[in-house]
Structure 1
């Protein structure tokens, strides 16, 4: 039997393009025979690794300066305040003209693939998604056996469906604690009690480390931004692809049939 093609999609709820990639993979029949795994990472942590390895500090960071938020969650050895400021300055939203392009581009792809999305950027964008991503990592960390891994993916998908709809469609500030709890209570089996459980688990060292490991794995797979697709075709060949605008290349690499889709959006990709 020919092995199924596989996609690992690394994502963070802060990225509109990761949402769009997720929506397409979830809903387009092109991917119905693809084994897909959704892996939550922290984009801020990934940017730490990308920028600090490219532009290392002039001297080793001091242990006395380990007071920054981004550092503590993603790369424990990167603890310099000046370094963190550098990452913030180089966030895509802070690059001149790119902030406007991001908004235009996300709407362009949403129209092409009929993806529901809020017309204006959500208030106070970009939010701190660390608590949200830890929750998703906690759901993932609850699995050990193969059957549990399947269940955790189902739970992650249910949570992502709810979070993405609330944030990128309705503009609800889901990254605020009260909203995060209420949004999670709906898709999780067990309602508010289940939401409280995953929120509590997100504060544990185990779950925090799981998010670090996921982010490190994305980087090891070649990621420098989101969405990042690590794809394996039926020949066993593996390649990485960045961006929703490279989904056409993903489809080609995996040998998928665009004809089954019926979505006109595929005319806009190579």
Structure 2
């Protein structure tokens, strides 16, 4: 019978073997309770009494107290970027990425474009026309919700400055709800084609997802100098890390190695770098 039962309910015969030294790690502890923390790569020698004889059997178990670090992903995004929508949707919803710790960092696309000195894709009619064709293909292949056409107030009749600040404030005020808020806004923007840049459109969505009290507090906080500075810093951090555009993905694998990837079409490289299962799809 294992574990052996004694009058004082102590657990005898557990010894920690590490570097040739034996130590009783359960000394003075009651059955069912353990308070010792085992160090990494140790062997626990289990002596247990057999009912049928007095003979002791030994069994060795390799044990580690430090689990393999989880892979980490950081997505820099602006709601204005349709390819960032694709990256966000797959990172949030694909079961392949559930084992990763994923963070979504709001940046401001108009400021980003100025910092890196690019011409925006909407400055070229050919690029815009191809963008809709390409988006429709990706969404069909990966079952991502999508509706053709421009959202209201797109591209820059009104910028995403206010809503990106709200998302930045949400990261501070209500981080556990941040991804759900991003998802709701992306759906409104790229599927329902609503102009989420406008307060009369995005504020009801914020209240619906976060609740009246928290939502109102976050909307108010979004105008603070703290949040303005943080959004600016997020944008500068993305550029400083080498981002040529959005979406920009930082990935850290289980060994602690970091690499960066640009564009939704490179998300397959992200999975391979992190040692994840392959995404189903012809391009990834």
TM superposition score normalised by structure 1 = 0.76
Decide which of 171, 190, 194 is 1:140's aligned counterpart. Answer: 171
**Paired position in structure 2 for 1:119:** 148
Cα RMSD after superposing both structures: 1.5
Tell me, what secondary structure is at the counterpart of 1:7? Answer: strand
**Paired position in structure 1 for 2:236:** 216
**Paired position in structure 1 for 2:180:** 158
**Paired position in structure 1 for 2:58:** none
Decide which of 28, 33, 37 is 2:99's aligned counterpart. Answer: 33
Decide which of 69, 73, 95 is 1:7's aligned counterpart. Answer: 73
Tell me, what secondary structure is at the counterpart of 2:136? Answer: helix
1:47-126 → structure 2 map (5 Å cutoff): 47-51=113-117, 90-126=119-155
Contact 1:41-1:133 within 8 A present in 2 as well = yes
1:168-179 → structure 2 map (5 Å cutoff): 168-179=190-201
**Paired position in structure 2 for 1:268:** 282
Listed as ranges, the gaps of 5+ residues in structure 1 are: 52-86, 143-150
Between Structure 1 and Structure 2, which shows a larger proportion of helix residues?
Answer: 1
Alignment of 1:201 onto 2:234: no
Structure 1 residue 95: Cα displacement? 2.4
Task: Quote the Cα distance in structure 2 between the aligned partners of 1:96 and 1:35.
Answer: 38
Structure with the greater relative contact order (CA < 8 A, sep ≥ 6): 1 or 2? 1
Which portions of structure 1, spanning 4 or more consecutive aligned residues, are displaced by more than 3 angstroms?
none
Task: Quote the Cα distance in structure 1 between the aligned partners of 2:249 and 2:207.
Answer: 29
Structure 1 residue 126: Cα displacement? 1.3
Tell me, what secondary structure is at the counterpart of 1:187? Answer: helix
**Paired position in structure 1 for 2:53:** none
Alignment of 1:225 onto 2:254: no
Contact 1:5-1:232 within 8 A present in 2 as well = yes
Structure 1 residue 96: Cα displacement? 4.4
1:172-187 → structure 2 map (5 Å cutoff): 172-187=194-209
TM superposition score normalised by structure 2 = 0.73
Tell me, what secondary structure is at the counterpart of 2:251? Answer: strand
Contact 1:92-1:99 within 8 A present in 2 as well = yes
Contact 2:243-2:262 within 8 A present in 1 as well = yes
Tell me, what secondary structure is at the counterpart of 1:125? Answer: coil
Tell me, what secondary structure is at the counterpart of 2:209? Answer: coil
Task: Quote the Cα distance in structure 2 between the aligned partners of 1:268 and 1:45.
Answer: 34
The structure number with the bigger radius of gyration is 2
How many residue pairs are counted as aligned between the two chains?
216
